[in-house]
Amino acid sequence: MSDTLTLLDHLMDHPERWNFAGARELYAGVDLGTYKSKVIVVDEQGRPRAAAMRRSEGIGSGLIIDYFGTLTLLKAMMAEIRSRCSLPIERGATSFPPQTESGNIHTTRYILQGAGLEVLQVLDEPTAANRFLKLNEGAIVDIGGGTTGIALVQDGQVVRTCDEATGGVHLSLVLSGHLQVSVEEAEAVKTNRSRQQEILPIVRPVIDKISSIIASALEGFPTVEKVCLVGGTCALEGLTEAVAANLGLEVFRPRSPQVITPYGIALSCLDGKETVQPWAEASNG
C-alpha cells in the first residue's frame, strides 16, 4: 500500500512525472467532489500513471448542481492528461456519495460520457475506497468536502452504506465565522499545517457531528471495532484522534487519504482482471 500511495503523491498535479511507457490499456477513475475533483489514470495492471486534482465549483454537498460547469472541468482535466499520452483513454469509472443515487448516478455517468469516457462502473465512494483498502471487517468513512459517507464491511463485503451532508466545507464555514474571514481564506488556514492544532478546538463541534454520524451508522453492528478514515478532510491534524476518542474504537487514517477513493474508483475498472499485484510485487522486489 505504501508504495502505491508514494507513487500517487509523486504523480499528483505533476504532469512532467506522468509516465505511460509500457502501458497497453488505460482507465480513468473520476472523483467529482464538493471541493476538489480528482482523476487518476491506471494501466491494465492497476499501476497509477497520472493523477490530477482541481477545485470544484459545480458540486454542493455531494450533488452536481452545475452540470455544464462540472462537465467543462472534467473535459479540461482529461484533455491535459490525454495531451501527454499517445494511448487513448476511453474508459473510466466514477462514484457518488451513498444514498444520493437518484440525484447523481445518471448525471455523473453523462458527465463522463461527455468527456469521452465509456463508463464501466458507477459505485458509492466508501465502497470504491475499499477496492484499494481491501478491509475485511470494519467501517470505511469517506469524509469529503460536503458529505460523510460510510460503508460497513463484513467478510470483505459491504453490507450497509449511508451518507450525511457534513464534511470539510462545514469545517471551513465554522472557521470562517470564528476568524471573520472568507470561506476561501478559512480553507487556506485549515490546510496550513502550522495552524492545525490552533484551529482544532474551533472546529471540534463539526468533528463531533461527524463522529455522531459514524456512531449512528454503526448501530446494530456491535462487532465493528475498526474504523478507517479516508477523504481529504480527515487529513486535518488531530481529527482522527478526536473521532477515536468520541467513538471509543480503533480509528486510523492511511497516508494520503485524499487519493484512496479516486484510486479505488480507477481500480474498479479492472474488476475481473488482475490488478495491482504484478506491478506492486515488482516494485517491492
Q: Do 9 and 119 have their domain in common? A: yes
Whole-model pTM: value is: 0.89
Q: Do 76 and 193 have their domain in common? A: no
pLDDT, tens digit, for every residue of 12-36?
A: 999 999 999 999 999 999 999 888 8
CA dihedral (195, 197, 199, 200) positive or negative: positive
How many structural domains compose the chain?
2
CB atoms inside a 10 Å sphere around CB 83: 8
Q: Do 182 and 195 have their domain in common? A: yes
pLDDT, tens digit, for every residue of 145-198?
A: 888 999 999 998 889 988 888 999 899 999 999 999 998 899 899 988 888 888
- Residue 43, classified by CB atoms within 10 Å of its CB into exposed (0-12), middle (13-18) or buried (19+), is buried
Q: Estimate to the nearest angstrom the gap between the alpha carbon of 140 and the chain centroid.
A: 11
Q: Do 70 and 125 have their domain in common? A: yes
CA dihedral (109, 113, 114, 115) positive or negative: positive
**Count of alpha carbons within 13 angstroms of residue 23, beta-carbon side:** 22
d(CA 61, CA 33): 9
Q: Do 146 and 99 have their domain in common? A: no
Q: Do 170 and 108 have their domain in common? A: no
Q: Do 138 and 203 have their domain in common? A: yes
Domain limits at 184?
134-258
pLDDT, tens digit, for every residue of 9-18?
A: 999 999 999 9
DSSP for 168-208? Answer: HHHHHHHHHHHHT--HHHHHHHHT-GGGHHHHHHHHHHHHH
Q: Do 237 and 192 have their domain in common? A: yes
Q: Do 264 and 224 have their domain in common? A: no
**CATH number for position 10:** 3.30.420.40
Q: Do 252 and 266 have their domain in common? A: no
The alpha carbon torsion through 192, 29, 85, 118 (nearest 10 deg) reads -150
Q: Do 111 and 182 have their domain in common? A: no
**Count of alpha carbons within 13 angstroms of residue 50, beta-carbon side:** 26
pLDDT, tens digit, for every residue of 38-71?
A: 999 999 999 999 999 999 876 665 667 888 999 9
Q: Do 148 and 221 have their domain in common? A: yes
